[in-house]
Structure 1
Amino acid sequence: MDTLNLLNHLVTAVLVIDSDLRPCFANAAAEQLLGAGSHRLTEHPLTEHLLSLDVERRLLEDAVRQGQGLTVNTASLVTLDGQQHTVDLTLVPLEQQQLSLLELRQVDQQRRIHQQLSQDAQQQAAQFLVRNLAHEIKNPLGGLRGAAQLLARELEEPALKEFTALIIEQADRLRSLVDKLLGPQRPTQHSPHNIHQVVQKVLKLVEVTLPRNIRLKRDYDPSIPDINMDPDQLQQALLNIVQNAVQALEERGGEIIIKSRTQHQVTIGTQRFKLVAELSVIDNGPGIPPELMDTLFYPMVTGREQGSGLGLSIAHNIARLHGGRIDCHSAPGHTEFVITLPIISGK
């Protein structure tokens, strides 16, 4: 069996480092975690490929030089692109002098999977309740509108007809809100489409009314293959997220980055995919209040006075109907929504 091929299929990041912490080898998972190819990783010490690591450099260097093992659980690791991870670090000395095997096992992934499953279950329960309520509202609402129309036909005075017109108008507004509450419920017909064409349509819609103090930046990976999707639904999901970012920056201004990347060996729910596409919407606004983070994708949850609380719920449901997920990471000055969609190669 090819040992190199076996190492590259591991989910755990594996590196061989010398006493200066310079990698001599890095498997595919390590390249993905650190965001650099193996050739680039071998040019500099490991610490230069990270913004921070909750393990002192001297401690690692001494362990390698002295041929000692080292284990650190739940260490915080921040990569050069600002991605935060929690890892279990294990250092094992090799037979070759002053070389050690370093394993970085991401434990935040297990936490994220558990959180996603719990969040999906809770959100589906909330959506079930909301949809039942919406159906109950639609029946009397239709009767109310019909009665107002019949009454308008019997009235002759224009002043009185204004009141029936108001009733009809408000009934239509409520009907539109109820339709949004119901949202997409079943998977639609999917076919291969270019993800960047969907993004460009969204950005054209946003740019029409974009405030001058907000900049849009595109950071695409043109190698992403076509993805099976309903482009209209995905456009709606992305538009909801981008509009939220615009609203977060309206007062103070700022920058919104739309970034696309691929990732290997990613678990969505209980299923693992060899290749996925990640579409990120990043803004440098004030961030999302911590008390909203756990219920962010629930219907009717919003941090804005004029918000409906439906945009993110609909986006989450659309991602789920595409076999994907939405994650959110937020802190003051950096909020990132990531839509992850599986890429399934043709047979």
Structure 2
Amino acid sequence: MNEADWRTWAEQMATGLARVDAELRLQWINPALAEWLELGPRSAIGQSLGLWLDEAALAQASRALAEQRPLQWRGISLVAASGREITADIVLQPFEDGLLLEVHALAASLVTSSPLSATLRGFAHEVKNPLAGLRGAAQLLQRRVDTEDLRSLAGLIIDEADRLGALANRLLHHDGAAQLGPVNIHQLLERLSDLLQAEPSPPQLRHDYDPSVPDLLGDADRLQQILLNLARNALEAGAHTLTLRTRVEHGLRLGERVLRMALRVDVIDDGAGVPVALRDTLFQPLVSGRADGTGLGLALSREIAHEHGGELRCTSRPDETVFSLYLPLERAHD
């Protein structure tokens, strides 16, 4: 992509983007970020990044530039021209002789206490009875069908109903604390593959596993739910091919923390991509790109990632959307 095409693409983004030079002065800003910071895109050129960030954050940005390494912050405050504070997640990436600044402004409900857990407990209460009926019907089918393949599919329904029932019970039990234990992520991904192959029109699956990935400490049912949500989301976006990829990363920065060793699980699809209008609110409760969508799947997935000390991120363009789940590994091996 040449410079002109890149700028055209960036100016259409709902995500706030800016480029700063080696002196941390603004070279370019897209309309979305200019609007949040109450700046004129042209008059802002030459302003110091220090007008928006405090001294500690500015020092970290200088260090990231000097060391040519990416930097990520969660929940950092930016100061608009009027003095109004904006809380945002920020990513700084080395770019040519300076840095590319990516800003995701957070809604006020996510900055303070999120209502998501209460919403999910209500949802969990509502699904318990349908799950019980689903399980009972699957048991009847399992006893009446003649072939082993059909009995196996009925057993898959029963197992999933039990897993979702247990998940609902934990969400309903005060704070729904995670049940931690050793988790083999590849077993969860293979389980996901089995579930997807049982779909009426199963996608083509590709596996790109790092065999050196160790077990992690987590709640297997909840992590399985993240993977299932991501795959369902891809299929609903028209994906025909899913790639499931695992990697180990070292020195990963999540907000103000640096993880010595982390697992990255990528769910990559060839669907239509995330609409530009939804990219900044994609993980918020009740946000959906479909008329019949609940907007809970991705919000739940990010909440589960956070309770594991991890993060869920997305990059998207037509024909290639990547949801990346990051989970700490050092907790399982300290």
Within a 5 Å distance, the mapping from 1:217-296 to structure 2 comes to: 217-249=206-238, 254-296=240-282
Q: Deviations over 1:246-305 (max 9, x none)?
A: 1112xxx53111110111101223221111000001111111111111111111110012
Which amino acid is the alignment partner of residue 304 of structure 1?
R
- Equivalent residue number for residue 188 of structure 2: 198
- Equivalent residue number for residue 318 of structure 1: 304
Structure 2 gaps, min length 5: 4-20, 28-64, 77-87, 91-103, 127-164
Equivalent pairs: percent with the same residue? 33
1:105 to 48, 68, 82: 68
- Equivalent residue number for residue 199 of structure 2: 209
Tell me the matched-pair count.
214
2:115 to 122, 128, 134: 128
Measure how far apart 1:118 and its partner are.
6.3
Does structure 1 retain, via aligned residues, the 8 Å contact 2:222–2:304?
yes
Within a 5 Å distance, the mapping from 1:1-347 to structure 2 comes to: 105-107=68-70, 109-110=72-73, 115=89, 119=106, 122-123=109-110, 125=112, 127-128=114-115, 131=118, 185-209=175-199, 211=201, 214-249=203-238, 254-344=240-330, 346-347=333-334
Instruction: Give the whole-Å Cα distance in 2 for the aligned partners of 1:133 and 1:125.
Output: 18
Instruction: Give the whole-Å Cα distance in 2 for the aligned partners of 1:296 and 1:310.
Output: 10
Which amino acid is the alignment partner of residue 247 of structure 2?
R
Instruction: Give the whole-Å Cα distance in 1 for the aligned partners of 2:107 and 2:329.
Output: 21
- Equivalent residue number for residue 38 of structure 2: none
Partner secondary structure for residue 280 of structure 2: helix
Farther-moved stretch of structure 1 (217-226 vs 105-114): 105-114
Instruction: Give the whole-Å Cα distance in 2 for the aligned partners of 1:312 and 1:323.
Output: 17
Which amino acid is the alignment partner of residue 298 of structure 2?
L
Instruction: Give the whole-Å Cα distance in 2 for the aligned partners of 1:215 and 1:337.
Output: 17
Q: Deviations over 1:302-338 (max 9, x none)?
A: 0012211111111111111111010011111211100
Measure how far apart 1:195 and its partner are.
0.8
Q: Kindly tell me: are residues 240 and 215 of structure 1, through their superposed partners in 2, closer, same or farther at Cα, counting changes over 3 Å?
A: same
Does structure 2 retain, via aligned residues, the 8 Å contact 1:186–1:321?
no
Partner secondary structure for residue 234 of structure 1: helix
Structure 1 gaps, min length 5: 1-51, 55-69, 76-101, 140-175
Instruction: Give the whole-Å Cα distance in 2 for the aligned partners of 1:336 and 1:188.
Output: 26
Q: Deviations over 1:195-221 (max 9, x none)?
A: 101111111111100525x31111100
Aligned-residue RMSD, C-alpha: 4.0
Which amino acid is the alignment partner of residue 186 of structure 2?
H
Which amino acid is the alignment partner of residue 264 of structure 1?
H
Which amino acid is the alignment partner of residue 187 of structure 1?
A
Which amino acid is the alignment partner of residue 68 of structure 2?
R
Q: Kindly tell me: are residues 111 and 191 of structure 1, through their superposed partners in 2, closer, same or farther at Cα, counting changes over 3 Å?
A: closer
Measure how far apart 1:121 and its partner are.
7.2
Partner secondary structure for residue 193 of structure 2: helix
Partner secondary structure for residue 294 of structure 1: coil
Partner secondary structure for residue 329 of structure 1: strand
Q: Kindly tell me: are residues 346 and 130 of structure 1, through their superposed partners in 2, closer, same or farther at Cα, counting changes over 3 Å?
A: closer
Does structure 2 retain, via aligned residues, the 8 Å contact 1:127–1:299?
no
Instruction: Give the whole-Å Cα distance in 2 for the aligned partners of 1:124 and 1:72.
Output: 31
Partner secondary structure for residue 336 of structure 1: strand
Does structure 1 retain, via aligned residues, the 8 Å contact 2:121–2:172?
no
Measure how far apart 1:238 and its partner are.
0.8
Bigger Rg, structure 1 or 2: 1
Q: Deviations over 1:78-117 (max 9, x none)?
A: xxxxxxxxxxxxxxxxxxxxxxxx9762446358985179
Which amino acid is the alignment partner of residue 123 of structure 1?
L
